[in-house]
Amino acid sequence: MKEIFKPFENIGRNSRLLIIASWVIAVLAFWFISSMGERHLFPSPAQVLRGFTELYNEGLVVHIGSSLWLCLVAIVIAVTISLILSYLSTIPVITPIANALSKLRYLPLTGITFYLAIIISDARTMQVWVLVVFMSTYLTTSLLSMVSAIAQEEFDHARSLQCNRWEVLWEVVVKGRIDHVIEVIRQNLAIVWMMLVTVESILVAAGGLGFLIKNSDKFMNHGRIIALQIVILVVGLSIDFILNYLRKTFFRYSKI
């Protein structure tokens, strides 16, 4: 047992499961203790369970579908923009544009929505583009780092095979780093999923998990809020697991 308290110690599968189970029990115990008494930090498990029931009866599945669709549309557009700019950043004339987009990640969300509201009138379209701008900045930053981290030996090897410059770009940067791209998307997807609640408050009529949280917060229904937080976490972790599984399945020899 002493091994689990030592840094860089390799432990077996049973030990890992024991540690996870211990932490789960500790968290549940803290939850039960903190929900006792008249004044408590968290709603009781019974309140959260009742919140799940109420949310399901109010169409929780439909709202999850609305949030996932919004997220999917934004991701497809953001990934397309970021990939094109990142791949073309190897061309000197495009490099400043890609670098400028990555620097926009310092802009606050309020500033982004202000300028988009001037250009876009449709609220649903505005939701999509707020997420697109927000994700594109971080995604481009990660992809530029990926491109710059490619060893010079790989480019030299492609040139030794008589590849021209465009073929080098295709073989080394595009085809040779697809597994890295999936990992970058997986990491940055968490940012979009985290911002989903804020963005969905722009148009409550479209529904979504953000609408449910705003509505529950307005009526101070803490049981529903915690239930929704659990749903958002579970859905987000499920998306992360699926992307990681696909990467490991299609790129079995990935070094990531």
DSSP string over 87-103: HHTTSTTTHHHHHHHHH
Average pLDDT, the chain: 84
Round to whole Å and give the CA distance between 123 and 244. 33
CA dihedral 110, 113, 115, 116 (to 10 degrees): 170
Residues of the chain above pLDDT 70, percent: 92
pTM to 2 decimal places: 0.80
| Cβ partners under 8 Å of residue 101, min gap 6 | 82, 85, 136, 137, 140
DSSP state of 189: H
| Cβ partners under 8 Å of residue 81, min gap 6 | 132, 136, 140
CB atoms within 10 A of CB 215: 14
**pLDDT tens across 19-45, in order?**
889 999 998 888 888 777 666 667 888
Residues of the chain above pLDDT 90, percent: 21
Structural domains in the chain, CATH included, are 59-250 (1.10.3720.10)
**Residue bearing the bigger pLDDT, 38 or 245:** 245
Locate 188 and state its tokens.
Answer: 């940055």
Check pLDDT > 60 for residue 130: yes
**pLDDT tens across 170-214, in order?**
999 998 889 899 989 988 888 888 788 778 776 666 667 777 877
Taking the CA atoms of 70, 123, 184 and 188 in sequence, report the sign of the dihedral they define.
negative
CA dihedral 215, 218, 222, 228 (to 10 degrees): 20
Q: Given pLDDT bands bounded at 50, 70 and 90, which one contains residue 252?
A: confident
By C-alpha distance, which of 142, 168, 143 is closest to 153?
A: 168
Q: How far is residue 5 CA from its own chain's centroid?
A: 32
By C-alpha distance, which of 225, 229, 211 is closest to 67?
A: 211
Task: Quote the pLDDT of residue 1.
Answer: 67
* 187 three-state secondary structure: helix
**pLDDT tens across 36-80, in order?**
766 666 788 888 888 888 888 888 888 888 888 988 999 999 999
